[in-house]
Structure 1
Amino acid sequence: GLRLTEGRPRLIAAAVGALAMALALSAVLRRGPLRAAARTSGTWTCWLVGYALLGDGLLHTALTGGPDALPDGTAGGPWPVAAAPVLALALSCVPAAVGAHLFTTRARRRLTSSRGLADFSASVRPLLLGVFALYTGALAALLALTGAVLGEPAAYPQALTLGALLLLARLLTVHGHAHAATLVLTAAAAAEATALATVFAGRLPGCGFLAAPVEALVAVCGPAGVPAAACGVGALALLAHATRRLTRASAHAHAHGQARVTASRPR
């Protein structure tokens, strides 16, 4: 819609598209295998997705003295917009839901068939890593597809790390470990916001040193280095946490109990 419209119709297309995506994602997260009883802060998730859409373009233009205009919805404008990774992340909710369903159902089966807690943990850990690998592979394919269709770079580093971070955060939340997920999402969003803030603060007289770390990172890795580093470190932390927490029998007994309580509530 952004590519095929101009002026007010472009604003309407952007608003309708954002609303439709928000409603669809809300439905996915409230029903099905990705639903969670615990409430989580969606503010930082929205920031991370918003940065995937606008952040790299803003960082690039800020380092070159801009931005001189608002984003126009294109990848070649004065403030470039990266629609391909955001579209791929939205479509990746399908493999995420499939993976979450497989992980939950198979872990519950092994909960009843395992001979002990150690046996259960040993059997569930490869299942968790397999679901994680399945999702990242599906997201990589979606990034290639959306990049080709929209004529944009696929943005593999920043989108894959962000997708991995969001998937692990949701799995932990579904199984009763929302605190760690929220903490890491907050830290990743804060890192991205700090990177942008230091670049603009570095324009003040005598404050150029503030932007030096971000400038050095961008010189080596490009603008994608900031979200890839922030989300990548967060995803690794959550992966290590998930391999300890989600391979315990208590995590799946908790999730099973929450599902039974939800199903028994009157409508």
Structure 2
Amino acid sequence: MARAEPDDPLSLNSPSGDRDSSSPEPGKRRVAVPRRGTADPVKALLHRHRDLCERAVDPLEIVAGLEAQGVTDRTAARFRHRDVFSLAEELYARVPRGGERGPRTAPPPAPRVRADWILLTLLPGALGAATVAGLRLTHGHPRVLVACTGVLAVALALRAALRRGPLAGPTGTGTHAWRASSTGTHAWRAGSTGTHAWRAANGTRAWTLWLLGYAVLGDGLLNAAVTGGPDALPTGTPNGSWPTATAPALALTLACAPAAWCAHLLAAGARRRLAGSRGLEDFTAAAKPLLFGAFALFVGAFTALLVVCGTVLRESPACPQTLALGALLLLARLLSVHHHRHAPAVVLGAAAATEAVAVALPLAARLPGCVVLATPVRTLVNAWGAAAVPALGCGIAALVLLVHAGRTLTQASAHAPTGAPE
């Protein structure tokens, strides 16, 4: 007798032997449909997903789990329910929980605004401003000491800001965690892909550090490499032989605060819409303008920060490439916060590789017989300037992540509570 595939989310097979008598054709996936005449079509589905239903803390968690396994509103109609939300409420109500009866009527609380994460998101900008001021007021060895101390302090402040509040990533300690793969969504038990998640997180950190370092030193290094340099180490000023872009660096540290607020608005708005939606399509339609609105709000705030920093420091704010980098980092963080780590790691790595290759080709062209290697980069720099490399690399990467976020962060499974702390 043909058996349904083990990962079929709609499989109604049970140990009692209640199976569909029809066998699927070779090479075709079996589609399980409630048998005609079955008095209780939800019973077999409950047996199939009993583990999810027993451990869920709210019907919305069952909604997320069912959606992650491919269950749609059309599928719920075959089980005599108008949508997945209604089906999840019945599944939640029919599982005993030590005397608790029926689903919780109150929606899950929206993430709260807390003073601790507000202060932590302001800290990187304050330390960045102090570091830039120290660099402007010192010379020689004291300037090197100020630069090293300031970079370390800002890095620690950013680490603290990314561990608390809306920008905090998933802890992985919940009973279930849900994430999306590049070809579709599927459920995974916490810890089952721990090694892969650890590698993705480390890759994301490494590429982010490279991109931030390039924003400060990259354009000056590329210009120097194309013209035969660099002849000296960076001095921490925008006027040296290897210029340092302090205005974009300061704007990026200050942008931590608006990024946290936009992430909070997205999470709170999505949670409210999730509690009030009566279908997955209804939630997606409401979540898309919320996502793109939060993204546009961050871009506007970041643009204002760039202009202010450039004016105060009397430097070029490097708007195109810095805006592209800020948008890329925000989208990567939003995806990571909502359990989508793989795509940010890959896209950030591609952007970092683009910048690394652009710097390496002019240097490699100095080898005998390799002059032709520098032709593409030199042509691009002569036509559009050194800023064209990070602007194109980060801009295309941000566009890819924006499209990916529009598909994944507008799903109920990305915002339903999974037991992780806010």
Identify the match of residue 244 of structure 2 among 65, 74, 81.
81
> Aligned equivalents of 1:170 and 1:108: distance in 2?
18
Alignment match, 1:146: 309
Indicate yes or no: 2:382 matched with 1:223.
no
Q: Tell me, which stretches of 5 or more residues in structure 1 are unaligned?
A: none
Indicate yes or no: 2:163 matched with 1:4.
no
Structure 2 matches for 1:229-244, cutoff 5 A?
Answer: 229-244=392-407
Indicate yes or no: 2:159 matched with 1:26.
yes
Structure 2 matches for 1:111-126, cutoff 5 A?
Answer: 111-126=274-289
Identify the match of residue 420 of structure 2 among 252, 261, 264.
261
Q: How many residues align?
A: 259
> Aligned equivalents of 2:233 and 2:145: distance in 1?
16
Structure 2 matches for 1:85-124, cutoff 5 A?
Answer: 85-124=248-287
> Aligned equivalents of 1:32 and 1:172: distance in 2?
15
Indicate yes or no: 2:318 matched with 1:159.
no
Identify the match of residue 210 of structure 2 among 23, 27, 47.
47
Q: Deviations over 1:103-152 (max 9, x none)?
A: 00110110011121111101110111011111011111111111111111
> Aligned equivalents of 1:66 and 1:27: distance in 2?
38
Indicate yes or no: 2:165 matched with 1:13.
no
> Aligned equivalents of 1:126 and 1:196: distance in 2?
39
Please give the root-mean-square deviation of Cα atoms over the aligned residues, in Å.
Answer: 1.1
> Aligned equivalents of 2:282 and 2:382: distance in 1?
48
Identify the match of residue 173 of structure 1 among 336, 346, 361.
336
TM-score when normalising by structure 2: 0.60
Shift of 1:4: 1.2
TM-score when normalising by structure 1: 0.95
> Aligned equivalents of 2:394 and 2:383: distance in 1?
18
> Aligned equivalents of 1:227 and 1:216: distance in 2?
15
Q: Tell me, which stretches of 5 or more residues in structure 2 are unaligned?
A: 1-133, 171-196
Shift of 1:262: 3.6
> Aligned equivalents of 2:318 and 2:166: distance in 1?
28
Runs ≥4 in structure 1, deviation > 6 angstroms? none
Identify the match of residue 66 of structure 1 among 229, 237, 261.
229
Please, which moves more after superposition, 241-250 or 14-23? 14-23
> Aligned equivalents of 1:60 and 1:23: distance in 2?
31
Shift of 1:20: 1.4
Shift of 1:217: 1.2
> Aligned equivalents of 1:261 and 1:142: distance in 2?
33
> Aligned equivalents of 2:420 and 2:322: distance in 1?
35
Shift of 1:51: 0.1
> Aligned equivalents of 2:352 and 2:420: distance in 1?
33
Q: Decide which structure has greater helix share.
A: 1
Q: Deviations over 1:31-61 (max 9, x none)?
A: 1100002651211100000000000000011
Please, which moves more after superposition, 122-131 or 31-40? 31-40
> Aligned equivalents of 2:420 and 2:368: distance in 1?
59
User: In structure 1, what residue type is equivalent to 2:420?
Assistant: V
User: In structure 2, what residue type is equivalent to 1:30?
Assistant: R
Identify the match of residue 297 of structure 2 among 115, 125, 134.
134
Structure 2 matches for 1:181-200, cutoff 5 A?
Answer: 181-200=344-363
Shift of 1:223: 0.3
User: In structure 1, what residue type is equivalent to 2:136?
Assistant: R
Please, which moves more after superposition, 12-21 or 175-184? 12-21
User: In structure 1, what residue type is equivalent to 2:141?
Assistant: R
> Aligned equivalents of 1:262 and 1:96: distance in 2?
20
Identity %: 60
Q: Deviations over 1:183-227 (max 9, x none)?
A: 101111011001101110112222111111111111221000000
User: In structure 1, what residue type is equivalent to 2:159?
Assistant: S
